[in-house]
Amino acid sequence: MHHSQLFALRLWTEETEPEASALRFQVQHVLSGEVRYLRHWSEVEAFVMQIFHEAEIGVQSKKEP
């Protein structure tokens, strides 16, 4: 059985100093409503993988008597 998660990702640039900008991220786990504001793609990946891991643990605990 495959389980899926739904995320909304918002990207924008933010001025960090005159004539320099950085990419910013807002990630929302749609099913729980949890929102994170992040500065690095690796943080986005870590948050998404955390949700998947927690969901997998929840599915496994429901299967165990």
- Please state, in angstroms and rounded to a whole number, the distance separating the CA atoms of residues 27 and 11: 9
Rg, Å, the chain Cα set: 16
Express each pLDDT in 1-26 by its tens digit: 457 899 999 999 999 899 999 999 99
In sequence order, the 6+-apart residues with CB closer than 8 A to the CB of 16 are 22
- Domain coordinates of the chain in residue numbers? 7-63
Dihedrals phi, psi of 41, to nearest 5 degrees: -60, -35
The total of other beta-carbon atoms located within 10 Å of residue 28's CB is: 15
pTM, two decimal places: 0.76
Share of the chain above pLDDT 90, in %: 68
- Please state, in angstroms and rounded to a whole number, the distance separating the CA atoms of residues 21 and 43: 18
